Each structure stands twice: as structure tokens, then as C-alpha cells.
Amino acid sequence: MKGRTNGHLLYCEVVHKIRGRVRIKSKALKYLGKLKNEVEKQLEQVRYIESAKISSVTGTVVIYFDDINVTDDNLIALIQNTLNVYLVEIYKNERAENSKNIVIERKLQEESPEEIIKKMTAAGILLIYNIFKKAPAAPVVGIKRLFNPNTLAVLSLAAPVISNGLGCLVKNKRPNADTLSSSAIISSLLLGKEKTALTIMIMEEFAELLTVYTMKKTRGAIKDMLSVGENYVWKVMENGSIQKVAIEEISKGDKIVVQTGEKISVDGVITKGEAYIDQSSITGEYMPVTKKVGENVFAGTIIKNGNITIEAEKVGDERTVSRIIKLVEDANFNKAQIQNYADNFSAQLIPLNFLLAGIVYGTTRNIQKAMSMLVIDYSCGIRLSTAAAFSAAINTAAKNGILIKGSNYIEEISKADTIIFDKTGTITEGKPSVQTIKLLDKNIGENKMLAYAAAAEETSTHPLAVAILNEVKERGLEIPNHTENKVIVARGIETEVGDSIIRVGSKKFMEENGISTDNSHDEVKVILGRGEILIYVAKDDKLIGLIGVTDPPRENIKRTINRLRGQGIDEIVLLTGDLEQQAQTIASRMSIDSYESELLPEDKARNILALQSRGSNVIMIGDGINDAPALSYANIGVALGSTRTDVAMEAADITITKDDPLLVPEVIGLSKKTVKTIKENFAMAIGINSFALVLGATGILPAIYSSVIHNMSTILVVGNSLKLLKYKLKN
């Protein structure tokens, strides 16, 4: 068999060949979906191919061809090039398929710790009653047992477990952990063993309590990290007076007054006043901005100076940050592959319990020994401890300013072998300053040229624009009146000042607009030779000046890269929209393996897909503003620093809210520790429960003690998972 690019999706191999006919296999062919016919037509348009038929089931394509000079490598290259065009859609389909959950378990997050404690208390009281009550003279057995008050009380407490267990069996034609527990509880009740049924319930509820408690703490830690607004606000009443009320009492359309130093608690529009507002927590702008009547403001932003009245448009769960919290809470229960493996593995063992119970009863005719096979199962320990481990890890991360959207991302980041960095705002501080100014038109002064550049950049929040605007402010220059600014992504900005068109941006931007840069070669060499970022400024069709901007590397970024290699990262790549000279300089200084420069946002996404197609597990680390496509397509997208835009929070899988890149290798370390803990839990749960099964089958252990051993093992592995709450990040 021959193959090329032995990696993830685009790997192809010839599985069968005769003269004029070949069958080629590729994983990508399984995920074409609606594109299958289109790809077949594409292949059939090739001169030497007579027909091409794709099977999505087997992931193969059968090609009939009439050119005896065509080699296997030619055909494989053709298929890979054809599939590469549809790689984005193929990758989406693969992700969707892999995320399907086939084992339906009861959602623990739907129950609160208080509810579980109430059930445990009620079950405990019933257990004490059953221990001390007098046995009836003529005990009732069989179905009649289910209709006395004592048994009905036990059944009512076990109703959620029984409902889910039997419901899963009916709807999904397969058992889950609750199916087995239901069988054990009902069997115990039919045999008059209420104490056994109650013991099973109390022990299982206690293990679930530990898991649910961890999930609740995790939600609290996330909310604390993303805390927004004040608990109380000043509401404008109908008579014009203001009154202090709880934030929960504010509805859409209400008006609130916010003053200097306070956090804004709603998303809305300013109806009165003006304020200088720090929006870094939402928009990523580290420079406060002036907001006036008619402009929008967001919950979680802080008024540095001024007083404003806001009409609430989004309150409560509709607010930007509240939506993000809800997004994280929902994603928290997206299962990782190892979690799906745990559920599937344990689900496959559940029928084994029923089979063992049948075999034991058939050979011994002892219902007690058979029941021991039903009260011992692997799924409870594996399922609960896995959920607890991931939830504890997310909690620990949140307490350290790291937002992880779900357990699947913890497992994914533990397997990463490639990291891609954005440059501006990620490797560098993202707070550049003007260092060099070169005039190319003797008729225009330095300040005039800077003012023109500021006019074009005035409405931009890009760090390079902020550098120019800061320089203008420091010089006390006035920005000339101008028309609306037009942004050309990854190229530059243009505006009109008077009768002139001002363009500010890259060399490519100048050339695309017919502006010659021939008169700037010497100055360009000087600026780039210093490692500065080069910005061209043009008026109409003439280049009038150059601006050199420096953006120093983040503190600890070099140490971060060294630690990443220690965590098993094989390849570190720099992808940037900056010029090659700047990319080369920073890549050399940081000892980065490779780089790509002058990229559009979609180019970064294509680079990531190319790496994934070769089998790499990719982490993309960006500032979250221009990197949303790349963050989405990476195996793991990480938004680093205070630039937590709404887009970043939705696109990134992990957001590090602190300006500390050393947290990147630390979160990888946390993920590896989490996966290691889960594997330890697997070993403990399987070992202890297998031992208890043997003792139960031989009659050494009665059913009630088998239940105790089984549930104690579940508590043990859940407790082992909770150690992750104390994991220390060495940032």
C-alpha cells in the first residue's frame, strides 16, 4: 500500500488496484456529507479519469482511469488537492460527528447540593426506621411488597434514578448507570430488603453530592472571575428622583444613573451625560474612551470620570457577560473523548452485570448472590469521578483567571503538540509606541504628517493606531476634520481630509492603490533594521512619510516558550499580519521554529487546517480581536490577556484573563494532571469492583456489603478527583 502525508484527515492510501481501476482510502472521505457528489464531479473532470465513486461509509473512492502512465502518487496527490479545497467543511463535519453523545446519563447539574442532602436525610431516616422496626409475623414478598407505605416511600426517593434508568432503556435501547441501580433497588424491594435498597441510594447520593458540589463551586468561580456590575444601582423613578435598588429589579427600558468609579451593570444606551469609560473587560481597548449621548455601553465596564444616565437594553441573563457565563456553564458539560470513552466502556459492562446475575442465579439458585452482581457496577465510579475531575480542573483554572469552556478542551489541550502564536498583543505587549518618523515630502512638516495619519486612525482600536494617536496627544496636535474611515482588513485605513485622500497602512496597501514606494528604500531599511513595525502614510497618490513603531515582547514570553517545550510541545509557529522582516526578527529573538507573515485572518485559519491535516493537535494563542477564525479552527483556541472581546470569548475555547503568558504552560500542566487522575480512577474503580464481584459471586459478600464496597470505591475515586481543587499553578 502506498500513502502520502501520513497525518490526520488528508492521509490517503491505495487499498486495492488492478489495471485501469484503483480504490483509495482517506478519512476525509467519510466527512464529505453533502459535498460528496460535488467532489465526484470534480474528479471526473480530470482528463484521464472515466468515473469516480465515493463511499462515505468506508471512506474510500473507486476511480476508473485510462492513462497507463498515471502512478499511485499522481492519483493520491490529485485526491488530496481536491479535498483540500473543502477542508474547512470536512473538518467541521468531523468535529460534529465526534461530538455526538451516544450514552445518555442523568444530568447532575440539574440537581442542587441542597436537594441531594434532603434526599439523603430522608433516606437516612427511612433506613433508621427499617433497622429498628419489628419484623412482621408473616413477611410479604414479591410484587405485593411494592404496595406498602414503607416501600412506596423508598420508591418515591428513588424515582429520578428509576425513571432515567428505565427511560434510557426504552428510548435508546441500551442501559446506563441508572438502569443497573434501578434493577438493584427494585430487586431489593421485591425481596423485602429495604435496608439494602436504602444503603445503595444513600451511598450513590453521597458520591453524586461530591460531584455536584464541585460543579457548583466551579460555576461560582467562573461567575466571580467574570463578575460584572454592582449589586445595587441608582434607578431613575417616574417622578425624576433616583432611588437605590437591587440590580435584579432593573428591567428593559429602565434608566439608571452611574457615576465616577462605579461599574456599569446593564448593556444599554446613554440618554444623558458624558463619561470616560474603561471598556477593556469587554472590548479589549486598554485606553479608556469617551462615551456620549446615543452611544452604547456594556455591563462590566468602569466609569473613570463623568456621570451618565443609561437606558437599559439588556439586563440579567441577556447581558454580554451573563451570556458568556451561560455559554461556559453549558459547555462545562460537553464531554471529552475520555469521558465518552468512560461512559461507553461502562455502558458496555452493564449488560455483563445482568448476564453475571443470570449465570450466578442459574448455577446457585441463590437470589442474594445474584443481586450482588447487580449492585456492583463500574459505571458509577468511572462516570462520577470523571465528571468531578474535569469540574475540579475548571474550578482551579477559574480561580487563577483561566476560563475553560468545557471538559473536552481540557483533554484536547493535554494532547497538543503544536502551538501557534499571533504576534501583536500576544507575543508582544500590544502597546506599541512611535519611535521613528521619516518625512518623504519636503512640503509637509512632521506634525502635519502625523496629524494626517491620526485622522485615518482616529476611530481604530488597533494597537498601532493607538500608538499614533498617543503620539499626537503627547505633542498636543489637533486632528483635522475628516470623513468616515474605511478599513481594509490586513492592509490599512483610508479617509478624506478636505479634498485629499489619506491612506495609512502597509506597503502592499500603497501598491494596490497605485502609490509608488521607490523613494523610501533607504529609510525603510533603517526602520526595519531596528526591528520596528513600519507604517506608510500617503496623501492622494504620493507617499509623504514613514512611521516606525516598536512593540516590545511581553514579560516572561521567552520563559513561556521554554516551558512549553518542557510540556511536550514539538513545534512553535508564529502567524502574523505584519511584514516578513518584523516576523523574522521576533521569531529569531524568541527561538520560534517557523513563521508566516502578511497574513489575512482567513490565511491563519488555512495554516491551522494545513497543520491539522498532517496530524498535528494545534493550540492557537491570539489576542482575540483579529484572530477569531483561527481561534475557532484550532483544536484549542486560547485568548490571552485583558483583550477579552465578546468575539474572543465566543471564539476561544480557553481565555486567560491575566496578562501572564506563563499561565499557558500551566494550564497544559493542569490538563495533563487531570487526565492522569482520570486514568488512576479507572484503574481503582475497575480493580475494586472486580474484586467485589468475585466475592459476591462466591457468596462471601452479601448484597448489602457488596453495595457498600462498590459505593465506597465510587466515593474514593471521586475524592481522588477532588484533589485537583488544590492543584497549584506556578505562574
Count of beta carbons in the 10 Å neighbourhood of residue 138: 5
Residue-level pLDDT at 414 = 92
Question: What is the C-alpha to C-alpha distance for residues 403 and 12, in angstroms, rounded to an integer?
Answer: 38
- N-to-C CA span, the chain: 49
CATH code of 440's domain: 3.40.1110.10
Contact assessment for residue 300 and residue 263, using Cβ atoms and an 8 Å cutoff: yes
Residue-level pLDDT at 19 = 87
Considering the domain architecture, whether residues 495 and 584 belong to the same structural domain is answered as no
Question: What is the C-alpha to C-alpha distance for residues 599 and 91, in angstroms, rounded to an integer?
Answer: 21
Structural domain count of the chain: 4
Residue-level pLDDT at 514 = 95
Residue-level pLDDT at 447 = 94
Residue positions counted in the chain: 731
Question: What is the C-alpha to C-alpha distance for residues 337 and 408, in angstroms, rounded to an integer?
Answer: 7
* Distinct helix (H) and strand (E) counts, the chain: 24, 25
- Domain assignment present for 282: yes
- Domain assignment present for 703: no
Considering the domain architecture, whether residues 538 and 446 belong to the same structural domain is answered as yes
**For the segment 331-363, what is each residue's pLDDT rounded down to a tens digit?**
444 455 665 666 666 666 667 777 878 888 888
What letter represents residue 28's amino acid? A
- Domain assignment present for 345: no
State which residues form the domain around 256: 230-321
Which of 475, 479, 474, 468 has the alpha carbon at shortest distance from 434?
468
- Domain assignment present for 461: yes
CATH code of 26's domain: 3.30.70.100
- Domain assignment present for 158: no
Helices of type H across 310-366:
320-331, 337-364
Which helix (H) or strand (E) segment holds residue 492: the answer is strand 492-497
Considering the domain architecture, whether residues 564 and 486 belong to the same structural domain is answered as no
Considering the domain architecture, whether residues 457 and 527 belong to the same structural domain is answered as yes
What residues in the chain have per-residue pLDDT under 50?
1-7, 101-104, 283-286, 327-334, 643-644
**Active-site residue identified among 422, 578, 653, 660:** 422
CATH code of 287's domain: 2.70.150.10
Last-in-domain residue among 80, 101, 122: 101
Residue-level pLDDT at 140 = 59
Contact assessment for residue 417 and residue 570, using Cβ atoms and an 8 Å cutoff: yes
Q: Is 226 helix (H, G, I), strand (E, B) or coil?
A: coil
Considering the domain architecture, whether residues 575 and 599 belong to the same structural domain is answered as yes
Which of 598, 324, 287 has the alpha carbon at shortest distance from 466?
287
Considering the domain architecture, whether residues 599 and 520 belong to the same structural domain is answered as no
The DSSP call for residue 233 is E
Considering the domain architecture, whether residues 654 and 557 belong to the same structural domain is answered as yes
Last-in-domain residue among 301, 321, 341: 321
- Domain assignment present for 716: no
Residue-level pLDDT at 331 = 43
Question: Which residues, 6 or more positions from 31, have their beta carbon under 8 angstroms from its beta carbon?
Answer: 9, 56, 90, 91, 93, 94, 97
Considering the domain architecture, whether residues 579 and 537 belong to the same structural domain is answered as no
Query: What's the 3-state SS for 425-474?
Result: HHHECCCCEEEEEEECCCCCCHHHHHHHHHHHHCCCCCHHHHHHHHHHHH
**For the segment 674-727, what is each residue's pLDDT rounded down to a tens digit?**
999 999 988 888 888 888 878 877 777 776 777 778 778 888 888 898 899 899
Which helix (H) or strand (E) segment holds residue 501: the answer is strand 500-505
Contact assessment for residue 664 and residue 560, using Cβ atoms and an 8 Å cutoff: yes
Residue-level pLDDT at 335 = 52
Which phi and psi angles does 400 have, rounded to 5°?
-105, 15
Question: What is the C-alpha to C-alpha distance for residues 403 and 652, in angstroms, rounded to an integer?
Answer: 10
- Domain assignment present for 179: no
Q: Which residue has the cell 434532603?
A: 118
Go through 467-489 and write b for each residue having 16 or more CB atoms within 10 A of its CB, e for each that does not.
bbbbbbeeeeeebbebeebeeee
Considering the domain architecture, whether residues 557 and 662 belong to the same structural domain is answered as yes
Residue-level pLDDT at 477 = 94
Residue-level pLDDT at 228 = 52
Considering the domain architecture, whether residues 439 and 494 belong to the same structural domain is answered as yes
- Domain assignment present for 633: yes
The reported pTM is 0.63
Helices of type H across 240-336:
320-331
Considering the domain architecture, whether residues 599 and 634 belong to the same structural domain is answered as yes
Last-in-domain residue among 284, 300, 321: 321
**Helix, strand and coil in the chain, % to nearest 5:** 50, 20, 30
Pairing verdict, β 289-291 and 267-278? antiparallel
**For the segment 272-295, what is each residue's pLDDT rounded down to a tens digit?**
998 888 775 554 444 567 888 999
Annotated catalytic residue 422: yes
Considering the domain architecture, whether residues 308 and 254 belong to the same structural domain is answered as yes
